Structure formats: structure tokens, C-alpha cells
Structure 1
Amino acid sequence: MNKIEFISSLLDYLTIVSQVIILFLLIILSTKKFDKAVSLIKKKSFKLSLVVALVATLGSLFYSEIVNYTPCLLCWYQRIFMYPQVILFSIALFLKDKGIAIYALSLSMLGGMLALFHYYIQLSNTKLTSCSTVGYSVSCSDNFIMQFGYITIPMMALSAFILISLLMIVSLKK
């Protein structure tokens, strides 16, 4: 296995790990039994979100700059919602400012909706509009990867956006 295959596989497995964490967060948020766990996660929510945003950003750059997958138009829009979060969380941690949670939540929810729409287009092979008509983008329905029967690049992004959203919801809990 070469370095590119290794990193690609690592990103696939990190997507699964993030989905397990999402399930865990949904369970602990749905009941009062886990208030201690919620409190612990709340303390670490910004650091965890920074890690998620950084891995998502580096992962997308890995696929476009190293593997040479040309990002489609929807990929670019998702990047607009993910990349700034690395800077937001870094500054928030440096300044100990928890006030950005609502901004990060907004960015993640909007990015997540785009990623979900993109994932739908890929799975259904729907050609709602051809991204290639803009002259610089591959089709948004193109699948560069499909691991474990469901993990595509938009699914990776969707998982990251949902995880950050849930972490920000935890951080906003009183």
C-alpha cells in the first residue's frame, strides 16, 4: 500500500469513526442520564471541532492537490463553509472565546445541507445541472471514491459538518 492509498483509507476509517461519534453524541444528548459526559464533551468541544475541521480541510486538499481530483462546484461551496472554521476555532481557542459557537454551527449546518444535497446527486446520478457548463468544473454527480458501499467525498464532508454541528450544540448547552 503506497502513501496515497494509506491516507485515503485513513480518511475512510476516520469517516466511520466520526459517524460512530455522531451516534454517541445523539444518544447522550437525548437523555439526562449522560449529563457528566455532556459536561466533559462541552469542555473539549472547541478543540475537537478544530481537529475535525482541520482533518476535513487537509483531507479535501489531499484529494485535490495530491491525488489530483478536480473539485466540482458543490465541493467548492462546501469548502467555503469548512475552511474558515479552522481559523475560527484556532482564534477562539487562543482567545478563549466561546462566542463563535453559533457562527460555527451556522457554517456547519449550511455546509451540511450542501453536502447532503451533493451526496444525493451522486447516489441518484441526478444531473440537475451540469457543473461542467461553467467551464471549469467536473460534474457534481461524479464519484471519485466509493468505499464500504457508501463513503464518498461528500459523505466525508457531511460527517464532518454534522459532527461539528453536534459539538457546537453541546457547547451551547446550559
Structure 2
Amino acid sequence: MEYKESQSKTQGYLLYVAWVVSLVAMFGSLYFSEVKGYIPCELCWYQRILMYPLTLLLGIATFQNDTTVKKFVLPLALIGGSISFMHYLEQKIPGFGGIKPCVSGVPCNAEYINWFGFVTIPFLALMAFVIIAVCMFLIKPKKLIK
């Protein structure tokens, strides 16, 4: 019985961590665009489209302790992480080539921030998506907890 209870607490903590990470990512992106005035490129918009629903989904799941949300969150996190990784490669590798969505408007290889020589906005998004995905991989559905 105690093993089941500690497993349930761990699942709750993982949901909470994933939710907090999504909140920080959402408010961070809003800070960069609304306060700092950085105009998001097209790939940044795709990452936002995938991150913002995670905040709502994970928030509801955290308060209801619903681990079945994994099947909705994991695909969004993996797709968002893939887009972030592509975006980061375009910024950091010369000659990686312009990705098709980035032909008009703000160029996707523009670096608004470059902390420590490697931390850019797509890198921050990538880390958020990776942390959320890892939390979801570690969560076991309630029916599998013994």
C-alpha cells in the first residue's frame, strides 16, 4: 500500500514539474515578445503553438492528478522539441540552410539572445520540451501502478 502511495506522489511531482516548466516557457516567450519587443519568427510561432496548450493540459492534469494526459502531452513535446532542435541548428550551424518557413518576415537564424555563447531562445524552448518529455516518459499510467 505504501509503495503505491509513494508512486502516486512521484507521479504528481512529475506532473507538477512538467507544468511549471511549461509555465516558465510560456511566460518567458511572452516576456521576450511583449516586454523586450522581440518579434517571433515563423518557427518560434510553431514552438509557441505547441507549448501553450501544454500549460493548460498539464495544469489541469496536475490539479486532478491525471497521469493519462501523457498520451496528449508527449506528442506535442516531441514535435515541439524537434522544431526547436531544427531552429537551433539553423542558428548555430553556418550553411545549415534556410528552412522553408523562414523565407519571409523575421529570419529564423536571428539570435536575439546568446547567453554563454550557446543559449538562445530556441535552445531554451528545446530544454523545456525535453524536460516535459522526460517527465512524461517517467510517468506510469495509474492502471499500471501496483
Q: TM-score, with normalisation over the residues of structure 1?
A: 0.71
Match of 2:124 among 149, 153, 156: 156
Q: Count residues in correspondence.
A: 135
The residue that corresponds to 1:90 in the other structure is 59
Q: Distance in 1 between matches of 2:138 and 2:12?
A: 9
- The 5 Å alignment of 1:75-86 reads 75-86=44-55
The residue that corresponds to 2:74 in the other structure is 105
Segments of 4+ in structure 1 off by > 6 A? none
Q: CA deviation at 1:94?
A: 2.9
Match of 1:57 among 19, 26, 29: 26
Q: Distance in 1 between matches of 2:11 and 2:64?
A: 17
Q: CA deviation at 1:131?
A: 5.3
Q: CA deviation at 1:41?
A: 4.2
- The 5 Å alignment of 1:3-152 reads 39=7, 41-125=10-94, 126-129=96-99, 133-134=103-104, 137-152=105-120
Tell me if the contact between 2:85 and 2:126 (Cα under 8 Å) persists in the aligned partners: yes
Tell me if the contact between 1:131 and 1:139 (Cα under 8 Å) persists in the aligned partners: no
Q: CA deviation at 1:141?
A: 0.6
Identity %: 36
Unmatched 5+ residue regions in structure 1?
Answer: 1-37
User: Aligned pair in 2 of structure 1 residues 124, 117: CA closer, same or farther (>3 Å)?
Assistant: same
Q: Distance in 2 between matches of 1:133 and 1:154?
A: 18
Tell me if the contact between 1:50 and 1:86 (Cα under 8 Å) persists in the aligned partners: yes
Amino acid at match of 1:172: K
Q: Distance in 2 between matches of 1:96 and 1:129?
A: 39
Q: CA deviation at 1:97?
A: 1.9
Q: TM-score, with normalisation over the residues of structure 2?
A: 0.84
The alignment's C-alpha RMSD in Å is: 2.0
Q: Distance in 1 between matches of 2:100 and 2:134?
A: 33
Amino acid at match of 2:135: L
Q: Distance in 2 between matches of 1:86 and 1:92?
A: 10
Q: CA deviation at 1:98?
A: 1.5
Q: Distance in 1 between matches of 2:127 and 2:68?
A: 23
Q: Distance in 2 between matches of 1:81 and 1:72?
A: 15
Q: Distance in 2 between matches of 1:43 and 1:96?
A: 6
Q: Distance in 1 between matches of 2:10 and 2:116?
A: 29
